[in-house]
């Protein structure tokens, strides 16, 4: 790749002009680390990454960013007598067969080591990056100039997710390394009892609470769940101090919340492993049955259960379901949302069916049989104890897990 020294309007206008145009940065939801671990960066979903011996390339088919392999860059820089950033930039540009017309460019209010040109409607931006390891490498971005003018944020965010821009003084002399600017990522919701919080990323993790509305919650990091959905880790003490000694982590699905601008470059954190939760086995009663769950395709999650599968006459139980990566869900033949619950008070032993249509059109069935002891219960003393509702703890609403059964009004007992 070789570009000539050009004098265009874009060489006259400083690059910081681009920052005053209305931006629409794509979220950087994916991350990539080279095989040797020398380079790591984030990029939007739908972009493709190719790693070769000399470069690592990420592209969406229109924009392309090429990083010089850090190991190769280190070998070349090692031949220099000094570590002058301008000299390092010139050596790496020569490696890519690019003429170094300039060795500084203006990004925001900073003068950095780089070069910006336009040729035939295509922009070319080369920047010197300092990686977290302290090594330096070259990043080259190119694509339609008109598109870059209206939205430079995505390209610059990808570049700065890999390393810091190396600053120069106003005369092009070497300066200090400037860390990429960061924005705080916060999430929120406007709806009460709607956004579920879980102990880990993914709908296959236990749900423990609802996110309270009208509050901006700080994001500690993000992770990808088993179904490739994006999740945010929140600060437990901010969500509710009452849960600090109860759970280690709290997560929320990105699709369920409103995100701030800083979430586009939030740090990716390791996905915590799933810890099996021991389930309390109810005391078996007559007519209570269960069936083994069929195998589901990879990436599909289906959960269907009843709080109590053995009832006395007049008692009720809550049936709950949770699904992901499916197309349709039907409860007892009626269409429902992918996650829900319903209170059932069967008069006799009843089998409830959840019908799930997968993305490929195939069908999975789940059944829960609730056994009912139809013998008349002994008369009980009427109680004024109300049916429990969701308990409010600090800033959040806990999801009720065990609703008390309701009893019919007792009949008078003949003497």
Task: State what percent of residues in the chain have pLDDT above 90.
Answer: 13
pLDDT-based confidence at 20, cuts 50/70/90? very low
The mean of the pLDDT values for the chain is 74
Kindly report, residue by residue over 338-377, the tens digit of the pLDDT: 888 888 889 899 999 999 998 888 999 999 999 988 776 5
- Range with top average pLDDT, 23-32, 57-66, 159-168, 233-242: 57-66
Kindly report, residue by residue over 50-71, the tens digit of the pLDDT: 988 788 999 998 889 999 988 8
Domains of the chain: 9-178 (2.60.120.1690), 186-265 (2.30.30), 279-378+386-409 (2.60.40.10)
Q: Which residue has the higher pLDDT, 276 or 247?
A: 247
Kindly report, residue by residue over 311-338, the tens digit of the pLDDT: 888 888 888 888 878 888 899 988 888 8
The reported pLDDT for the residue numbered 367 is 92
Give me the count of residues in the chain: 415
What is the average per-residue pLDDT within 148-170?
78
Q: Which residues make beta-bridge pairs with 222? A: 232, 268
pLDDT at 234 over 50: yes
The reported pLDDT for the residue numbered 276 is 46
pLDDT at 379 over 60: no
The reported pLDDT for the residue numbered 293 is 59
Q: Is the pTM of this model over 0.95?
A: no
- The span from the CA of 28 to the CA of 90, in Å, is 30
pLDDT at 249 over 50: yes
pLDDT-based confidence at 7, cuts 50/70/90? very low
Joined together, the tokens standing for residue 235 give 């600060």
pLDDT-based confidence at 126, cuts 50/70/90? confident
pLDDT-based confidence at 2, cuts 50/70/90? very low
pLDDT-based confidence at 132, cuts 50/70/90? confident
Q: Which of 181-185, 218-222, 256-260, 268-272 has the lowest mean pLDDT?
A: 181-185
Q: Which of 85-89, 215-219, 382-386 has the lowest mean pLDDT?
A: 382-386
Do the beta carbons of residue 332 and residue 340 sit within 8 Å?
no
Kindly report, residue by residue over 23-36, the tens digit of the pLDDT: 456 888 888 988 88
- The span from the CA of 66 to the CA of 401, in Å, is 52
pLDDT at 282 over 60: no
Residue 61: other Cβ atoms inside 10 A: 9
Task: State what percent of residues in the chain have pLDDT above 70.
Answer: 71
Kindly report, residue by residue over 170-192, the tens digit of the pLDDT: 443 344 444 444 467 899 999 88
pLDDT at 405 over 70: no
The reported pLDDT for the residue numbered 351 is 94
- Range with top average pLDDT, 8-17, 187-196, 398-407: 187-196
The reported pLDDT for the residue numbered 151 is 65
Joined together, the tokens standing for residue 413 give 């007992």
């Amino acid at each position: 790749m070789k570009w000539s020294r050009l004098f265009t309007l874009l060489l006259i206008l400083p690059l910081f002009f681009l920052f005053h145009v209305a931006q629409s940065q794509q979220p950087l939801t994916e991350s990539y680390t080279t095989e040797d671990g020398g380079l790591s960066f984030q990029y939007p979903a739908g972009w493709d990454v190719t790693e070769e011996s000399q470069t690592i390339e990420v592209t969406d088919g229109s924009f392309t960013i090429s990083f010089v392999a850090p190991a190769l860059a280190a070998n070349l820089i090692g031949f220099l007598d000094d570590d002058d950033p301008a000299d390092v930039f010139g050596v790496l540009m020569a490696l890519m067969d690019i003429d170094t017309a300039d060795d500084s460019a203006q990004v925001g209010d900073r003068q950095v080591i780089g070069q910006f040109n336009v040729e035939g409607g295509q922009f070319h931006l080369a920047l010197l990056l300092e990686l977290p390891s302290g090594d330096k490498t070259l990043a080259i971005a190119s694509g339609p100039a008109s598109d870059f003018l209206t939205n430079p944020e995505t390209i610059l965010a990808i570049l700065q997710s890999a390393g810091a821009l190396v600053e120069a003084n106003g005369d092009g002399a070497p300066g200090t390394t400037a860390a990429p600017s960061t924005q705080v990522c916060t999430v929120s919701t406007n709806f009460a009892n709607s956004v579920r919080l879980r102990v880990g990323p993914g709908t296959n993790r236990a749900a423990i609470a609802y996110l309270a509305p009208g509050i901006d919650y700080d994001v500690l990091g993000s992770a990808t769940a088993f179904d490739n959905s994006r999740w945010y880790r929140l600060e437990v003490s901010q969500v509710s101090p009452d849960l600090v000694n109860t759970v280690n982590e709290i997560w929320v699905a990105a699709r369920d919340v409103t995100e701030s601008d800083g979430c586009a470059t939030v740090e990716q954190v390791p996905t915590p492993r799933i810890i099996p939760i021991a389930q309390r086995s109810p005391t078996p009663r007559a007519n209570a049955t269960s069936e083994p769950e069929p195998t589901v395709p990879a990436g599909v999650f289906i959960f269907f259960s009843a709080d109590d599968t053995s009832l006395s006459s007049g008692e009720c139980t809550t049936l709950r379901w949770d699904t992901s990566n499916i197309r349709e869900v039907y409860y007892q033949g009626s269409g429902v949302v992918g996650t829900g619950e319903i209170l059932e008070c069967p008069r006799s032993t009843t089998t409830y069916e959840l019908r799930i249509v997968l993305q490929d059109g195939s069908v999975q069935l789940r059944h829960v049989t609730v056994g009912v002891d139809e013998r008349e219960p002994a008369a009980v003393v009427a109680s004024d104890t109300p049916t429990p509702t969701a308990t409010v703890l600090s800033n959040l609403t806990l999801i009720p897990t065990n609703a008390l059964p309701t009893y019919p009004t007792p009949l008078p007992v003949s003497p």
